[in-house]
Each structure stands twice: as C-alpha cells, then as structure tokens.
Structure 1
C-alpha cells in the first residue's frame, strides 16, 4: 500500500501508526511545506513537491494539515482522481467556493472519506444498535476538557485550536460530537446554537458551544467546552423504557444506573478501526461513508449560528 500524507502533525502520527499496523509493508510519503523539515518517523519518506510524487501509483492521500489549508489542498488534488482520507473538520469556513469544490468532487465521483473516528468507538456503535427501535424523548450530549492540557509542553495559546484566525474553536475542533449525533439520529429538522469565548482561557477562538437540534419527537442538546479541568464526554438518552448513559471515556453504557455494556478499548484504539474500515470498506468495497458531501452537511450544522 502506498500512501501520501499531507501534514505531519500529532494526528498524522496516529494515522501512520494505524496504517503500519494494518500493513507493515506500507510505503508512506510525507509532503513537507518546509524544505528543511525532516521526518522523525521511521519509514516515512519526505517529499517537498507534489510533482515529485507519482500520484497515480498511490492508493490514497491522507490530508491532515491545518484545517485552514484544507481548501487549497483539495483544490490541488481534485484533478488527480485519487481516493482521499481527510482529517476533520473538512474546512475552516463555508462559502460558495467550498460548496463548489464539494460539488466538483461529487461530480467526478472521487472517493472521499472525512475522519469520524468516534463512530468506531464500541459504546457508540452499541448505542446505535440499542436505539434502533427505541422511543426517544430526550438526548443530552456533553464534551468538556481543558485545552491547556491537550498538548503537554506546548503553550495552548499558540495552537490552532485557540486561534480563530487559524480555523480553531471548540465548535469545529469537537465536531466529533455533532458528527455522531448526526450518525445516530439523522439530520435535525431545526437547529439553534450559541457560541462564546468569555472564559478564563482568554483565547480568540470560541471555547464554548451549545447546540439544540430538534427532531420530530425529541430534541438533542449538545454542549462543548475547552475549560473543564476534569474531562467528561457523555451521551444521555431518555427513552420511554428508561435512561441510557454512555461514558465515552470509559467506553461503557448504563441503563437505569446499571451497566449493560463495557469495552476495554479506548478512543485511541479507534484510529486503527477507522483506517481498517477505510481500506477494506471504502477503498476496496467502494462503500460511501461520511463522504465529502455528508461531512459538508455536518459542517454547515456545526457553523450555523
């Protein structure tokens, strides 16, 4: 398997580890923006110009550079008709140009997948099965963590997450929550949202987001923040039979305060499950799963205020 990586940050390293676990003989190239950059990852081959890569021989391209650069990167790649694995979120903003580019990918029927690794977390997959025929009355989703702890040894104020001009913000950084709500329950009939950055973090990007998605028979509340020091990531679903409580960090499901599902795997394990699904089901099986079109729909819901 031959893969080109564009953007060699921390998330790319997780994907590379997953690729190597899936295929120990994989050839991985990294397109570097800095001509003096050298990869410190064993087996990764540095390249500095897209024209130096035989794109036609690649199995796919993995895009994991800053979100603000996704649009220009996709503009360059659309002409090659090569499968793409795109790290979330799809774009840092939405407008007529981004919509036109999405339409072009769809028209050319280029294989695309936008990363949504929480769909591969055991408790969320199990919840999707459990709720198949359930009468849902209310959904509450919460994701809170402390941005300064995300990257130890790095000033959090300098990373894209904290900077609006770099495409950062809790609403777009934690789009995973919106993605799996969309995956579990579909497109909402009506949406409301509120964003702010008035916490003690004092950053330019939004550090708090609150969404209310309304469906035919229930509403889903989604709260995201960067300032909770004790991390919490949960889903609560109130049904006519009782209440399901999902702890994503523990990978467990409780029903009426009794544990009914538990997995030893953690969110970090989903990167391998994701790349395995991408290769086997999307590249080989030609399945459409969170394509650029679907991810763009979710991004519009994310950005809507």
Structure 2
C-alpha cells in the first residue's frame, strides 16, 4: 500500500527514530537525518533532490519555522512533531503556508488516537462543570540513556514540562474547545532558568466548563489520568492503568479499551502516509490535520508564554 512512499525524517532523536521505524513497518521507505549532520543545508539538499514525497520534522521545537518554510517551497507534505511552536507569532508564520499544503500535513498529536480520548469525545459532555487532566513522571527515569541536563527539555528557550507533555493540553482542547483562556502557575529550579518542572494550567472560557491540566517531571510514580465532573456523570479514566469508569446515579460503568501504545503512532502515521498519497485518511473525528488544529497549537504556545514561576524545587538530580 505504501511501497511508493519515501519520507525524509529530520531529527534522529528517540521520536525521530520511532517515526522512521514505523514508516518502514507500514511498508514505506524512509531516510533519517540528524539535524547535527548538516542542519538546514543538508535538509535543503535532500529535499531539492526530489526523492521524497513527504517529511517528518522531529527536531527540537526551536527548529521548526525554517524547515516548514523549506518544505512549503517544494510543496512537500509534513508531519510536524508537537509542539509546533512556543511563540504565537512564530506559530502564525508557520501557519502562513498554503492552506492546500496544510490539508495534506499532520501535527503529531498522537494521543488523539488513544481509545479513551476517542470514547470521551463521543460522550455527551454538555453537563460537565469541571475537568482535570494529570500527567507526571520522574524525568530522571524517563528514557534509556536519557540525561535531562543534556536534552532539549532543559533549554531555557523552548524547554520545560509544559511543552514536553503538551498532549494533555491538546486532549483538553479536544473535549472542551471553547476553553481558550489560559493561566499557568509553574515551579522552576535555580540551575535551569525559565524551565518549568511542574505546571498547573487553568483553562476557561464562555459557555464551557473550566478546568486544569497538571503536569510534572517530579512524580516518583508515573501517572496519567482524566477526570471529568458533570451533573449527570463522573468520568474517571486512568490511562496508565487502562482503567476507565463512568459513575452515574444508577451505578458504575467500566469501559474495556485495550491499547498497545505504538498503535497510536501507527495510526497517525497511516493517516499521514494516506494524505501524502492523496488518499482518504481514517475516519478518526479527532484527525490532527494541520489546518484543523491551529487553535490547539496556539493554546499551547500561549500557555508556555503565560507561565508564572511561583516557587522553586531543590534537590533535582540529572
């Protein structure tokens, strides 16, 4: 199905390698390049060759605009890793590319392929009055061979937990798209200026519930949960434990939503490869096609800019 597709993956970190391998597993061709191996000059050389049908941009967040504009020059569809930008003005420049190209490009919000989020999106949430999405994990135990201080996450310009774990902001936006006003309280560290190690994002708007997204690099036990509070039902979804409960006056309903994590990556990549080939993507109602997710990308960028550091942590080891 995808044997005639050849994708250039720009960025050879863990996520770039995952995308590269997934393209191969889905039957496509892929070449991966490290940004450190020639940077924009090398990327330009490869794209100008006419060899590739699309590009995956999996560089650090501060290396986005120039690559998006390069791909747009050659009308090359893109899979752009999240977050797209941490500056709303830069995001607007990225979104200045032609609408037709946006319609063939994907933003890497792979959690939109999680069966729990899709199940919630299909629920009647009109009686909801509050929500909280929570994610936390000790970043020192995050990945094999991972050293926080040497990573993109430790950078003062574009680092921190809010950008790193911004899937939760996007998930909140999927469920409550009118909650576009944002306030953020963050914890910092003397050794890492302008880097948030924990952030509490408050979202609100007219004619919609208000709620929070909480995230941290500090929790000794990995946690990922969604809690919705409504006058008709309480939704308590523990994504880490794959335990999904809906409590109503008549009792508790438990949903069976099995998940193999890489299937979300396969799902979003299948849709990207379909768009590259001019084919119809899946019927996922949350499809993160570039032209459909500007508000979510802008919300993430504004949230990062809105951080207020109210306290600091000590004793962090990396």
Q: Which TM bucket (shorter chain)?
A: 0.7 to 0.9
CA distance in 2, matches of 1:192, 1:133: 23
Q: Which moved more, 1:248-257 or 1:292-301?
A: 292-301
- Find the counterpart in structure 1 of residue 15 from structure 2: 11
Residue-by-residue CA offset, 1:269-288 (whole Å, 9 max, x unaligned): 31111112323367522797
Question: Which residues in structure 2 correspond to 1:187-198 (within 5 Å)?
Answer: 187-198=178-189
Equivalence for 2:150: 158
Q: Note the C-alpha offset of 1:195.
A: 2.2
Residue 224 of structure 1, CA deviation:
1.0
Per the alignment, do residues 262 and 106 of structure 1 end up closer, same or farther by CA in structure 2, a change over 3 Å counting? same
Q: Which has the higher helix share?
A: 1
Tell me, yes or no, if structure 1 residue 51 matches structure 2 residue 45: yes
Task: Tell me whether 1:285 sits opposite 2:280 in the alignment.
Answer: yes
Relative to 1, partners in 2 of residues 1:108 and 1:262: Cα closer, same or farther, differing over 3 Å? closer
- The residue number in structure 2 matching 1:67 is 61
The Cα shift of 1:36 comes to: 9.2
Instruction: Return 5+ residue gaps in structure 2 as ranges.
Output: 307-318
Give runs of ≥4 in structure 1 deviating > 6 Å: none
Match of 2:198 among 198, 208, 224: 208
What residue number does 2:107 align with?
114
Q: Which residue pairs with 2:168 in the alignment? A: 177
Structure 1 segment 260-275 matched on structure 2, within 5 A? 260-275=254-269
Q: 1:104 — aligned with what?
A: 97
**Which of these residues, 27, 30, 33, is aligned with residue 31 of structure 1?**
33
Give the deviation of 1:22 after TM superposition.
Answer: 1.6
The answer as to 2:133 corresponding to 1:141 is yes
Q: Distance in 1 between matches of 2:9 and 2:228?
A: 38
Show the counterpart of 2:301. 300
Query: Does the Cα contact within 8 Å between 1:242 and 1:255 map onto a contact in 2?
Result: yes
Q: Name the stretch that deviates more: 26-35 or 100-109.
A: 100-109
State the distance in 1 between where 2:300 and 2:188 align.
20
In structure 1, what is the Cα distance between the partners aligned to 2:134 and 2:37? 42
Equivalenced residues, count: 289
TM-score (norm 1): 0.84
Counterpart of 1:222 in structure 2 is: 213
Query: Pairwise CA RMSD of aligned residues?
Result: 2.8
Measured after TM superposition, the shift of residue 178 of structure 1 is: 0.5
Write the distance in 2 (CA, Å) between the matches of 1:255 and 1:109: 37
In structure 2, relative to structure 1, the CA distance for the partners of 1:237 and 1:280 (3 Å cut) is same
Query: Cα gap change, 1:268/1:203 in structure 2, threshold over 3 Å: closer, same or farther?
Result: farther
1-side partners of 2:274 and 2:267: how far apart? 11
Partner residue, 2:228 = 237
CA 1:50–1:234 in structure 2 vs 1: closer, same or farther (change >3 Å)? Answer: same
3-state SS of the aligned residue for 1:213?
Answer: strand
The alignment's TM-score, normalised by the length of structure 2, stands at 0.81
Check whether the contact 1:164–1:206 (CA below 8 A) recurs between aligned residues: no
**Shift in Å at residue 209 of structure 1?**
1.1
Contact 1:56 1:82 in 2 (8 A): no
1:172–1:303 Cα contact (<8 Å) kept: yes
CA displacement at 1:189 relative to structure 2: 4.9
Q: Secondary structure at the match of 1:177?
A: helix
Structure 2 CA distance for aligned equivalents of residues 61 and 277 of structure 1: 14
